[in-house]
Amino acid sequence: MNQIKYCVIVPDGIADEPLEELGGRTPLEAASTPHMDYLAANGRVGWARTIPKGLSPGSDVANLSIFGYDPATCYTGRAPLEAAAMGIPMSGSELAFRMNLVTVDGDRMGDYSAGHIGTAEARLLVELLQEKLGSDEFSFYPGVSYRHIMLYKGKDPMLVDCTPPHDITGKELKPHLPRGEGAQKLIDLMARSREVLKEAEVNQIRKDLGENPANMVWFWGQGYMPSLPAFWYRYKKKGAVITAVDLIRGLARCLELDIVDVPGATGYYDTDYGAKAAYALRALETHDLVLVHVEAPDEAGHAGDVKMKIGAIERVDADIVGAVRSALAGTPHRILVISDHPTPIRLRTHTADPVPFLIYGDGVRPVRSQSFSEKSAMLGELKFERGHELMEYFLYSGRS
């Protein structure tokens, strides 16, 4: 039993609501998922509340819960986790902000990702912002695609509420600008970014090509660097993480989990699902546990694209769940498949509702035959109101 291998598969945002266009089914119910359905029928299904009451339904909070850490006591913000992934040094007094390159259309949010701008183009723009707007108070750091970091190093208090840009697509900017003590500094900086980016050569080329220009920055997800006990210290398991998203990479670094780089992993629809599975299986040769995170279903939810969400779910099932199930058959193992949070097509943003999960493998006693869906999860007997307690159950329940 000491040689048991654990695989956690997190299709980001797969949980959803019944849709009229799908005949009252959710995308997960409408998708063809024979491998997840097999694991559900031969394992156990339930739900977990990964977003404690009072916290925003972000991937940062949700994935802290999945890793087995209580966000209510240790969450400080999204941006410092991404800063950790990027290797940005932070002192205890510095405040990190997630900085999106966005497309604004007049006074409205047109596109929270500037057309999923390429990393090379984005780097040029962030370097331009550092050159023109960087100071003793503000520093700009390039990341991946539209996702970047701004560090506030000033001495004046910065106690602000910020709205994620993906929550306000098509909405007026003004009601959703930063608010609170210090907010005007951020608002002024955002306004100045419009002037800097307006004439940038990268944006002129993007407009000529009919692509969305990255014509403003948007700050959100701020926080100080958290102090978290290592995953090994807490669970006595050597773990690895596969993801293309800086937020999850940063969380892995904070928990002292190994990060496995996978060629072709993009954090978007075109990610190489099969490569993620192959590298996960390779990681299990030297690790006790591997977590595979897939961003594509969440991106489809934000885009309100039903077809793409169903397609992403089916790719996860066929290329990741199926591959892992087949490769680990006949060896001691457990598999956990869980949505970190819902990203309903109708709302195009996250919600704090409980998420479905399935557990399959050694020592997991099947309860009844069922498929894997939101509905079967709600009918399941496993319910974790404190979602962070699921990890310990996954690792140790039913074992002597």
pLDDT in tens, 245-261: 888 999 999 999 999 99
Quick one: which of 10, 198, 218, 28 has its CA closest to 113? 218
What percentage of the chain has pLDDT greater than the value 70? Answer: 98
What is the pLDDT, as a whole number, of residue 386?
97
Q: Which of 80-94, 166-180, 186-200 has the lowest mean pLDDT?
A: 80-94
* pLDDT at residue 222 greater than cutoff 50: yes
Residue 248 tokens read as: 């999850």
Query: pLDDT by residue (tens digit) across 261-285?
Result: 999 998 889 999 999 999 999 999 9
Cα 111 from Cα 375, distance rounded (Å)? 33
Query: pLDDT by residue (tens digit) across 67-90?
Result: 999 999 999 988 998 899 898 989
What is the pLDDT, as a whole number, of residue 92?
84
Of 34 and 381, the structure prediction assigns the larger pLDDT to 34
Strand boundaries in the chain, DSSP class E: 5-11, 44-48, 95-105, 108-111, 138-144, 147-152, 159-161, 179-181, 216-223, 239-242, 258-259, 289-294, 333-338, 355-361, 382-384
* pLDDT at residue 132 greater than cutoff 60: yes
Quick one: which of 102, 116, 215 has its CA closest to 169? 102
What percentage of the chain has pLDDT greater than the value 90? Answer: 88
Cα 64 from Cα 66, distance rounded (Å)? 5
What is the pLDDT, as a whole number, of residue 307?
97
For the chain, give every domain's residue range: 5-75+228-396, 90-223
Of 126 and 400, the structure prediction assigns the larger pLDDT to 126
Span between the terminal Cα atoms of the chain, in Å: 9
CATH code assigned to 5-75+228-396: 3.40.720.10
What is the pLDDT, as a whole number, of residue 399?
56
| 336 in Cβ contact with 6 (< 8 Å) | yes
Encode 90-106 in three state secondary structure: CCCCCEEEEEEEEEEEC
What is the pLDDT, as a whole number, of residue 350?
94
* Residue 96, C-beta contacts closer than 8 angstroms, at least 6 positions apart: 77, 79, 80, 82, 83, 88, 90, 149, 150, 151, 152, 222, 223, 224, 225
Query: pLDDT by residue (tens digit) across 295-321?
Result: 999 999 999 999 999 999 999 999 999
Residue 63 tokens read as: 């994935």
* Residues in a beta bridge with 8: 291, 336
Confidence of residue 400 (pLDDT cuts 50, 70, 90): very low
Query: pLDDT by residue (tens digit) across 41-65?
Result: 999 999 999 999 999 898 999 999 9
Cα 76 from Cα 78, distance rounded (Å)? 7
* pLDDT at residue 204 greater than cutoff 90: yes
Quick one: which of 223, 302, 221 has its CA closest to 12? 302
What is the pLDDT, as a whole number, of residue 1?
43
Residue 139: φ, ψ to 5°: -130, 140
Cα 251 from Cα 149, distance rounded (Å)? 15
Query: How high is the mean pLDDT of the chain?
Result: 95
Mean pLDDT for the stretch of residues 170-198 = 97
Could you give the C-alpha distances from 111 to 57, 141, 168, 214, in angstroms and in order? 20, 21, 9, 9
What is the pLDDT, as a whole number, of residue 369?
66
Quick one: which of 296, 308, 301, 299 has its CA closest to 345? 301
Quick one: which of 82, 71, 128 has its CA closest to 62? 71
Cα 132 from Cα 196, distance rounded (Å)? 7
What is the pLDDT, as a whole number, of residue 331?
95
Cα 241 from Cα 67, distance rounded (Å)? 11
What is the pLDDT, as a whole number, of residue 2?
52
| 312 in Cβ contact with 357 (< 8 Å) | no
